[in-house]
Amino acid sequence: MAYKDADCRKTPKKKKKTTTNMASLSSDEWRAICDKFTNAQNLTDVESRNDPENDLFRSKYKARELLREIYCSLKSFEAGEGDEDGGAESSEQRAAEPPVDGQREDGFGEGFSGDSPAGLRAAKLGAVEYYLGVNHVDTEELSAGQEHLMNCMKQLGRCRVTSENVSLFIHVRNQLGILWAGRDETETAQGFLETAESIYQRYMKEDGSPPTDMTEYFTSEEKLPTHQERTKRFELAYTHTMYYLAQVYQNLGETERAATYCHTTLQRQLQLNQFSPMEWALNAATLSQYYITKGRYMEGRHCLSAATVISGLAGEAPSEAVAQESETESDRREQLRQKRAEIARCWIKYCLNVLQDSKKLLEDNIGELDTDRQEELKRARRQEEEDEEKGRKSALLFGSEDTFDSIASLEEKVCCLSPLDFTEARGVFLVGQNYVKQAKEYFQMDGYVTDHIEILQDHSALFRGLAFFEEDLERRCKMHKRRVDMLEPICNDLNAQYYLLIRRQLMFELAEIYNEMMDLKLTLANRQADTQSLDNHTIKKFNSLCSASAKYFQMFLDSLCSPEGKVPEHLEEEVLRPALVARFRVARLHSRLISPLLSAQLDNLNKSLENYKYVAEYCETHPEAAAAVETELELSKEMVGLLPLKINRLKAKMATNN
């Protein structure tokens, strides 16, 4: 329950203004209030850290009692001043009661002036209600906390926003925003926080002077903060507003707006020097992933470069030997290594997406490098570089005098424009590969199976992105072989029961890699001679790659069957396209195997027809599946019509030979 006014009226005491004026900081009564407030703050911010586990809120309960005593004293002073200041409220119009939900009123309308006796009284009572509200929220008494915070709002509802109370206007709305967001009442939280933002912006436009900090209401004159300290505390409160709004917009699905507020929050934290290096760095790295998905690589690179530099401010991770001697150092080592590995993974995603997006720009309709398009984009590169420089000048950049040069230096090591040839692509690849190494040092197979495999899959994808730009087909084939070497042992060693989904991903990728290698080998062979005169070594290599691809596609398909080996009658949406594509590829691969034996050729064609039929018949009985495999379905139907003719001709040839 919130602390009621009635509790403070048990012993009302009328005093002379000279001894009880709230503004009279020299009075003994007022000094006692200031001391109690200081003690309450110390209990909340310092002593509470040492509270035992079986009495977690001991210090905060003590602080609450002191705040209640302060509240009663203020009400007593108010009663004592009533006769002499009673006309104060009638001389200025009271503001209407504030709206309960959203709080979109900005407080710049009618009401007491913040520096009037009545305005100062309202601010001080409101401040105590605020601190009581925060205290109850901290001790997980949310309803009581809300009641106190709304009582603060009611006190402020009597006043106009001025330098004496603007900080309290913003703080209380921040707290109510957090409270309602925690209840998943996102739109209500949005209302409070957007009003806090509006109040800050209007105050800075119309006044802008360093406002009174809430602690000053109960601080003796010799301990008052400087103008610089006031400004910093006020700006920090607004930074919190921005931070909470970023989360609110994220929860509302307004991702672009959330990213903008997150970016501004991070920049303000650096300016105010109010941040934890590793937490800040991880937030900046996370923000980079939003920019990357939008193709905004300049902003993404800037966030990652800043994250790397700022994370360095946390110092080196303690050695393993030091960590073994101290639990604190062990925890610190774990935190630093983990968060830096996570930042490294964000860099990997950056490099991977740059390569993949460049491939989309440059590939022709069969997935090869379109040289005409490449030349066209190279000619347009100068304009693109100029646009990048303009964008950089208008962007909100991170950093201070100490870190800005380091961030800029790191940015120069990797491009943010689409690589247009092998040399440029290799530069991006090498940066990504370096971060793969860093990430794997922490996310090892022993303990982080899923993370380790995801990093390997990203490494494989980096090789694939680089291979697209490689003109030498032999070297391209070797890159794909590197992918096989890193994924195949993992796939074969993984426990199928516990890591079924990951194994499916690996099996499908390995099948595709072998398929690409097979096509490359055939292209190379065809450049040297026609298909009819392929040497035995080439045929053997081609068949080996073809069989390996078919094997992994079949392993993928078998993983979808029941324990008894029964093929599912209905394919779930998440495996529908992969399963039908795998069937189509198996059909194609069997038809491409080279064998001098007519019986082997017939066997391969029958297997091919069987899989083409499956695709066509499944889509016939499940019409909704057709949209997922339009191209494959069209070719499958065509082959279902053609292959029987080819099979019959082969049978006739075999009969003639016999």
Residue by residue, DSSP assigns 206-235 as HT-S-PPPGGGGG--GGGPPPHHHHHHHHH
Per-residue pLDDT reduced to its tens digit, 481-508? 999 999 999 999 999 889 999 999 999 9
**CA-closest candidate to residue 402, choices 339, 299, 340, 310:** 310
State the pLDDT confidence band at 78, using cuts at 50, 70 and 90. Answer: low
Crossing angle for the helix pair 573-592 and 500-528, nearest 10 degrees? 30
Computed over every residue of the chain, the mean pLDDT equals 88
The burial class, CB within 10 Å (0-12 / 13-18 / 19+), for 252 is: middle
> What is the number of alpha carbons within 13 Å of residue 244 lying toward its C-beta?
30
Cβ(159)–Cβ(119) under 8 Å? yes
Is there a contact between 126 and 156 (Cβ–Cβ < 8 Å)?
yes
pLDDT exceeding 90 applies to what percent of the chain?
Answer: 73
pLDDT at position 13 is 39
The pTM of this model reads: 0.85
Maximum C-alpha span of the chain = 127
DSSP 237-293: HHHHHHHHHHHHHHHTT-HHHHHHHHHHHHHHHHHHT---HHHHHHHHHHHHHHHHH
Reported as a single tens digit per residue, the pLDDT across 611-635 is: 999 999 999 999 999 999 999 999 9
Residue 130 CB burial class (10 angstroms; 0-12, 13-18, ≥19): buried
3-class SS letters over 585-638: HHHHHHHHCCCCCHHHHHHHHHHHHHHHHHHHHHHHHCHHHHHHHHHHHHHHHH
Distance of CA 248 to the CA centre of its chain: 14
Alpha carbon distance 119, 127 (integer Å): 12
Backbone angles phi, psi at 3, to 5 degrees: -75, 120
Residue 112 has pLDDT above 60, yes or no: yes
Lowest mean pLDDT among 54-63, 86-95, 133-142, 225-234: 86-95
Instruction: Find the range with the poorest average confidence among 23-27, 331-335, 483-487.
Output: 23-27
Q: Which pLDDT score, from 0 to 100, does residue 19 have?
A: 34
CB-based contact 280:403 (threshold 8 Å): no
- 341 beta partners: none
3-state SS, one letter per residue, for 441-454 = HHCCCCCCHHHHHH
Using one digit for the tens of pLDDT, what is the confidence trace for 61-74?
Answer: 999 999 999 999 88
Note the pLDDT of residue 107: 62
pLDDT bracket for residue 420 (50, 70, 90):
very high
pLDDT in tens, 463-478: 999 999 999 999 999 9
581-591 confidence digits (pLDDT tens): 999 999 999 99
Plot region of 441 (φ>0 → left; ψ -120 to 50 → alpha; else → beta): alpha
Average pLDDT over residues 339-365: 95
**Helix 381-394 to helix 371-379 angle, to the nearest 10 degrees?**
50
Mean pLDDT in residue range 145-174: 95
Q: Does the structure show a pLDDT above 50 at 386?
A: yes
What SS3 state is found at 164? coil
What phi and psi, each to the nearest 5 degrees, are found at residue 472? -75, 110
